[in-house]
Amino acid sequence: MSGLTVLPAVDIQAGQAVQLVQGLAGSAKVFGDPVAAAQAWRDQGAEWLHLVDLDAAFGHGSNARVTARIVAEVDLEVELSGGIRDQASLERALATGCRRVNLGTAALENPDWCAEAIAGWPDQVAISLDVKQGRLAGRGWTSWGGPVEETVARLDQAGCRRYVVTDVASDGMLSGPNLDLLASVCDLTEARVTASGGIARLDDLRRLAGLSDRGLDAAIIGTALYVGSFTLAQALAAAGAQP
């Protein structure tokens, strides 16, 4: 069993680091300066950061200046998400110098362009599979897409090399990850899989590491770190990495 890469999450809304509950607008718990949060995770041993512009994801604003500053100033590999839905927004995101971008809504609403993006940047474009009540969700989890199986088959054919899988019902709930969902996606694809949503205890990370031989190699952690359920150093150790 190999280890998982741990990605602390910095979700930004109105210029502040926040954590939402089940992706619902108005449910944010505010945790202050996102640049300071990113720096803190770096100082505690992180090598990667999951950075989300929630305002862009919901389609009512942008935190582009803050996200660009984090990528430029904080010495971390950054996975950038939120509102990347066309060529212009993709090029702006990549121009920040981030290591990877996640496309979510575009995979549902603009599949032809999404396939072109995967072909053009196969190592830098990942696909977010946000699953809500058994169906894919987009636009900040406010719109609906098709079945997971059909979408993965289509994106695999386009050459997708990584999926970021979120069970919306678990996100921010500290209820544990949806292992059945993650295992089912692993079984659908040869691509790598990142787990997102629900991680509450160190045992959750150990269980996720048990899926590493099926293609799951990374985990995003948000609320549990912010509320002090465990430290990042403990998470890295439980995931099989060293701080």
Burial of 92 (0-12, 13-18, 19+ CB in 10 A): middle
- In contact, 99 and 79? CB cutoff 8 Å: yes
Q: Active site includes 130?
A: yes
* Nearest CA among 7, 32, 38 for reference residue 18: 32
Catalytic one of 55, 130, 171, 204: 130
Q: Which residues are CB-contacts of 18 (< 8 A; sequence separation ≥ 6)? A: 11, 12, 28, 29, 30, 31, 54
Question: d(Cα 126, Cα 19) in Å, to the nearest integer?
Answer: 22
E runs forming strands in 55-189 = 77-81, 100-103, 125-132, 135-138, 143-144, 162-167
Catalytic one of 11, 53, 204, 217: 11
* Nearest CA among 162, 168, 190 for reference residue 7: 162
Distances in whole angstroms, Cα of residue 128 to Cα of each of 69, 118, 124, 194: 23, 13, 13, 9
Q: Active site includes 33?
A: no
Question: Sign of the C-alpha dihedral, residues 155, 196, 42, 58?
Answer: positive
Catalytic residues: 11, 130
